[in-house]
Structures are given as structure tokens and as C-alpha cells.
Amino acid sequence: MKIIYKITYPNGKIYVGSDLTDSINYFGSANSKFIEKDFTREERRDFTIRKEIIWESENPTKSEVIKKEIKFIKLFKSNESSIGYNQFPKIRD
């Protein structure tokens, strides 16, 4: 199963990603430095995130999964720094 997921952090910001292996233990590759700056040391001591599968398919191509991931990033605006942690696609000024 190939999936697109949405991670929600305690501050409400999100990260949208894809997983071609449907691993229950995979939480994406968001840049830790961007996330770290949003939380104090104390907040990091008890930290809960939520992972939601927002799309799944058994046999899509890798290209189809990437296109779907970009679609959801744009839909949720998770590439806007005030909303999420996705760095791609870049926001055009």
C-alpha cells in the first residue's frame, strides 16, 4: 500500500508526506531544525504528534504518489511557514 499522510504537531502546524512502504513507524523527513525552533525545551519533554493517512492506493506509480503528495501539500498549505513544515513546493512571492 502506498500512502499520503498528514502529521499534526502540538502547535497545530502540519507536515504532509508520502510513504511507499506503508510503515507504521515512518513519520516523514520534515526538517528538525524548523520544528525545534517552535518548541521550548520544556515542551519537548512531553511531545505528542498525530499521523493521519489521508490517501492510500495499492498500485500507483511513484510519480502518481508524488503528484498526489504535492496536491495535498498545496491543499493544506503545509508549505506556508505559518501553517506547516513542508519546504516544497516553494511558495512564489
pLDDT along the chain (93 residues), means of 10: 98 98 93 95 96 97 97 97 94 65
Q: Is residue 27 in a domain? A: yes
The reply to whether 91 falls in a domain is no
> What was the pLDDT predicted at 77?
97
Residue 90 domain-assigned (yes or no): no
85 occurs within a structural domain: no
Is residue 86 included in any domain, yes or no?
no
pLDDT number for residue 92: 67
Q: For the chain, what is the domain count?
A: 1
What was the pLDDT predicted at 25?
Answer: 94
Side-chain-side CA neighbours of residue 89 (13 Å): 13
**pLDDT score at 52:** 97
Element (H, E) at 2: strand 2-8
SS3 content of the chain, % helix, strand, coil (to 5): 25, 25, 50
The pLDDT assigned to 74 comes to 97
| Domain of residue 58, residue span | 2-76
Residue 87 lies in a domain: no
Task: Report if residue 43 sits inside a domain.
Answer: yes
Domain-embedded: residue 88 = no
